[in-house]
Structure 1
Amino acid sequence: MIIKSYAKINLSLKVIGLRPDDYHDLQMVMLPLDLFDAIEIEKMPFSPDSFVTCDDIELANLKENLCKKSLEAMRAKYKFKDNFTIRIHKEIPFASGLGGGSSNAAVVMLAVNQMLHLKATNEDLIEVGKTVGADVPFFLVNKPALVEGIGERITPIKVKTQYECLIVKPQQGLSTREVYAISDKFQKARVDTDGVIKGLANGDDTLIAKSLGNDLMLPAESLLPDIGVVYDSLCKDGFTIVSMSGSGSSVFALSRDNHKCHEAAKKYTKQGYIVRHCKILL
């Protein structure tokens, strides 16, 4: 079985506060993208273990892969003995704030549910998924949504316009844990979540641009100043809906102009950035 594992952007990310368990309560508007990894998963009837391989050298030596973690979480819940081989064909950049690892984990859960006829509901999978990673529940839904708590409360939202999305990522990635660890030392952005949601529903680019923001951008930029360089450059290029996704290091611009995104993609690729040009999924 081969399944598409889609990326996401955080159009807005507001840190509400630190929880007693040291996680942060968040309020986010998240949009899925038509940028995807391909996950190939097969049952291995006589294998003593499950194996995960990846064609991205940055991920090949990771000690903890979220696909394996999600598989074992499903095994603990549903008590199956089957083992699998999972091959990840990467297109979503690593350590980019685009949710690649969480998305991969979510589609493994969906595939196992289907292949083993477990008949788990989406609500059941979300309960398992939130033990694997904060973004996993969103990818089990994979629709534009308001996402709250640590990622487990998902409310679908309406989006009128299927925007082009230009993603520009510095070669260096960022650790989510490191960004959150210093985030409380920085001033919060002026994020208007309701404004973002209203702007998306009405196709009001001006309202979206005025309302969006990411409370993690300043701490991420302190670790990797190139984020600010890319952000300023995209704004100078005339893009108005610009922000950083997740904990970085990807910066994105939304636009209705395919040609403008295409030309900008060529420019940033020549400058040595990792670039993806895609669309949001409705």
Structure 2
Amino acid sequence: MEHLKSYAKINLVLEVLSKRNDNYHNISSIFTLVNIYDDIYINFKKHSKWEIVLDVDNQELKKDNILFKLVNELNNYKQIGKFLVEIKLVKKIPVGGGLGGGSANAASFLFFLFVKNIINFEIAKNLSLKLGSDIFPIFVLYLFKFLYKKDILVLNFGKQDILIPLNIHFINPYYILFIFPAIKVLTKEAFLLLNKKVLTSNEIFSNFIGIKTKNFILNLIKSNVLNYDFFYNEFEDVVLNNYPQLNHLKEQVEKILKEIGINEYKFLLSGSGSTFMFFIPKKYNPNEIKDLLFKKNINFKIEF
């Protein structure tokens, strides 16, 4: 049995430039992987036909997880050999948390099939783009991380179908404090909230990189150091304004940080939420934060 770690993604920059005529949105974004993951266990053997059997620890996910949709697509694919693939998915990435957990599950399984030479790059790309806009960027991040042993950033824009790996060496001067609220924010609802803002309804931005995305890249090329002043998330204001529980939790954590003398940090919503992050300079001691968050019974993780 093989074990895959299905890593979550975060957007360091996420701009929504316009709404398209096909009801999709033109976005401009910078992706990277983080050390939060689901576990996928795979038993793989020759068989009389191509067949995938999928088991998950949370039965509610069977309706919505993209991995199930991918399995259905693959079971109908005629270009694959005769194998039985048994998959067990153990969820750790919060569902509805804006960390791309379902997309990461699909991307990691496609990557597994690609490495095993069961599907080629073109099939992986086509299935990724068919099933979800985040899958292919995560698949590319896996390629660099596991085949080329590089942690990179990915630039993604248009209808999330134009993708450029940013193979730039950089220093990360922060650790990330992840906060996992007990509520979900559905991506569809977050886009509906954004649509109430003035979004241009045309195709002019379909091949554009957003200004904030461009500034992030130019600064990274110039300094080779991540600078949180260039992080941005278009969803932040509308989500916090419409989910007062999230805003209250944000203020609660900010109060804790100030109590222990941490005044330098960057708050950032992850995707469309509900997970949010604080990027904190590494000169501060994270152990004090842990103690206070435990006492307040706040669900969190710190990544260095």
Tell me if TM exceeds 0.5. yes
Q: Provide the TM-score with structure 1 as the length reference.
A: 0.83
CA distance in 2: counterparts of 1:263 and 1:274, whole angstroms:
15
Which AA in structure 2 matches 1:196?
Answer: F
Q: Tell me the SS of whatever aligns to 2:183.
A: coil
Residues 1:181 and 2:158 aligned together: no
Distance 1:82 1:145, change over 3 A: same
CA distance in 2: counterparts of 1:76 and 1:214, whole angstroms:
38
Report deviation, 1:244. 0.2
Distance 1:258 1:173, change over 3 A: farther
Pairwise CA RMSD of aligned residues?
2.8
Which AA in structure 1 matches 2:157?
Answer: E
Report deviation, 1:136. 0.3
CA distance in 1: counterparts of 2:283 and 2:120, whole angstroms:
40
Q: Tell me the SS of whatever aligns to 2:130.
A: coil
Distance 1:47 1:75, change over 3 A: closer
Give the structure 1 partner of residue 145 of structure 2: none
Residues 1:151 and 2:176 aligned together: no
Q: Is the 8 A contact 2:156 2:162 kept in 1?
A: yes
CA distance in 2: counterparts of 1:235 and 1:197, whole angstroms:
28
1:38-53 to 2 correspondence within 5 Å? 38-43=39-44, 45=47, 50-53=52-55
Residues 1:277 and 2:302 aligned together: yes
CA distance in 2: counterparts of 1:266 and 1:46, whole angstroms:
55
Moved more, 178-187 or 41-50: 41-50
1:95-244 to 2 correspondence within 5 Å? 95-115=96-116, 117-121=117-121, 123-142=122-141, 143-157=152-166, 158=168, 160-162=170-172, 163-186=174-197, 192-201=212-221, 202-204=223-225, 208-233=227-252, 235=254, 237=257, 238-244=263-269
Give the structure 1 partner of residue 147 of structure 2: none
Moved more, 59-68 or 209-218: 59-68
Report deviation, 1:50. 3.4
CA distance in 2: counterparts of 1:276 and 1:191, whole angstroms:
31
CA distance in 2: counterparts of 1:273 and 1:198, whole angstroms:
36
Q: Identity of paired residues, percent?
A: 22
Which AA in structure 2 matches 1:212?
Answer: F
Report deviation, 1:76. 4.3
Which AA in structure 1 matches 2:70?
Answer: S
Distance 1:135 1:240, change over 3 A: same
1:178-209: CA deviation from partner (whole Å, max 9, x where unpaired): 11122111378x9722222234442556xx33
Give the structure 1 partner of residue 205 of structure 2: none
CA distance in 1: counterparts of 2:211 and 2:289, whole angstroms:
27
Q: Provide the TM-score with structure 2 as the length reference.
A: 0.78
CA distance in 2: counterparts of 1:11 and 1:30, whole angstroms:
6
Report deviation, 1:71. 2.6
Runs of at least 5 residues in structure 1 that lack an aligned partner in the other structure:
none
CA distance in 2: counterparts of 1:187 and 1:146, whole angstroms:
24
Residues 1:65 and 2:72 aligned together: no
Structure having the higher Rg: 2
Distance 1:71 1:92, change over 3 A: same
Give the structure 2 partner of residue 92 of structure 1: 93
Aligned pair partner of 2:293 in 250, 255, 268: 268
Distance 1:262 1:224, change over 3 A: farther
Report deviation, 1:261. 3.6
Runs of at least 5 residues in structure 2 that lack an aligned partner in the other structure:
142-151, 200-209, 258-262
Give the structure 1 partner of residue 274 of structure 2: 249
Give the structure 1 partner of residue 144 of structure 2: none
